[in-house]
Amino acid sequence: MNLAHTDCNKKNIFSKGHKKEVKSEAARRRRRVESDVFGDLSRLLPLQPSIRAHLDKPSVIRLTLSYIRMQALLKAGEGFRFEFEKQKQEFTPLDETNMYLKILEGFLMVLSTAGDMIFLSENVSKYMGLSQTELMGHNIFEYTHPCDHEEIRHNLRQTAGRLKRDFVMRIKSALTHRGRIGNLKSTTWKVLHCQGRVKLSVSSSSVSCLLLTCRPLPLSHTLLSTHTFTSQHSMDMRFTYCDQRCFSSAS
């Protein structure tokens, strides 16, 4: 028997085993560091601890990017800031915010010029059955009716002299007809009346956005097509709102 050859084999086996163990330990160390980084990042998000506890890593990245973009928008101009001045009444800032959102009978949405949902108010779940954290960071085109995409693109375009926006779109809703929350596999279409304006940034187009209040309409989504339009009326049948499609249908 060749003892030198046997000893060499033992050394090779030991060397391979040692390298494998070193690589495994390095991988575990990287995963621990990664988890710590994501944990620290998650704690920086302005969310309730109960919500942060259920966020996966892709969600942490998505929400972090949304809040960074929101901060960039806020710094772009003082006129954009969502500030609620304190009044002499006995309201906390949270009470005031909830009061304003209740008066709106809808939710707030901030869209980038590419259609990314940078921010939504917390009460979006009341109207769509999907939470703020589920939607923020996703693109509006992932959740809206394909037939409305051209209309949405038209309103996202930066057009000089046309800052106001007023349009209707269909968006996915996880709410059932009885008001219960379902899942994305059983979503229906909800019709939203969106009103707002474009916030243009002189320094950079990347921080330009669309500020909207979105109010659900009691309409069936099947009523909307390229050949129909929606209108709202007061009790004496005066027009209080008319869809932009009215002009294209009339022509």
pLDDT in tens, 165-204: 988 899 998 886 665 666 666 678 889 999 999 887 666 6
129 and 240 housed in the same domain: yes
Q: Give the per-residue pLDDT at 120.
A: 93
- The CA-atom distances, in angstroms, between 121 and each of 1, 37, 45, 50 are 79, 27, 15, 18
222 and 167 housed in the same domain: yes
User: pLDDT-based confidence at 89, cuts 50/70/90?
Assistant: very low
* Confidence (pTM): 0.69
Instruction: Look at residues 28, 44, 60 and tell me which one is the last residue of a structural domain.
Output: 44
Residues 141-152, mean pLDDT to the nearest whole number: 93
d(CA 249, CA 251): 5
Angle formed at CA 115 by CA 189 and CA 108, multiple of 5 degrees: 65
- The CA-atom distances, in angstroms, between 45 and each of 41, 130, 131, 132, 183 are 7, 19, 15, 13, 25
- The CA-atom distances, in angstroms, between 82 and each of 93, 108, 114 are 12, 11, 22
22 burial type by CB count under 10 A (0-12 exposed, 13-18 middle, 19+ buried) = exposed
Q: Give the per-residue pLDDT at 175.
A: 81
Give the range among 91-95, 108-112, 238-242 with minimum mean pLDDT. Answer: 91-95
119 and 213 housed in the same domain: yes
138 and 214 housed in the same domain: yes
Angle at which helices 3-44 and 57-76 cross, to 10°: 40
d(CA 197, CA 233): 23
Whether 182 maps to a domain, the answer reads yes
184 and 109 housed in the same domain: yes
Whether 165 maps to a domain, the answer reads yes
Helix (H, G, I), strand (E, B) or coil at 149: helix
106 and 158 housed in the same domain: yes
Domain region containing 188: 87-250
242 and 141 housed in the same domain: yes
Whether 57 maps to a domain, the answer reads no
The count of domains in the chain is 2
115 and 32 housed in the same domain: no
Q: Give the per-residue pLDDT at 145.
A: 92
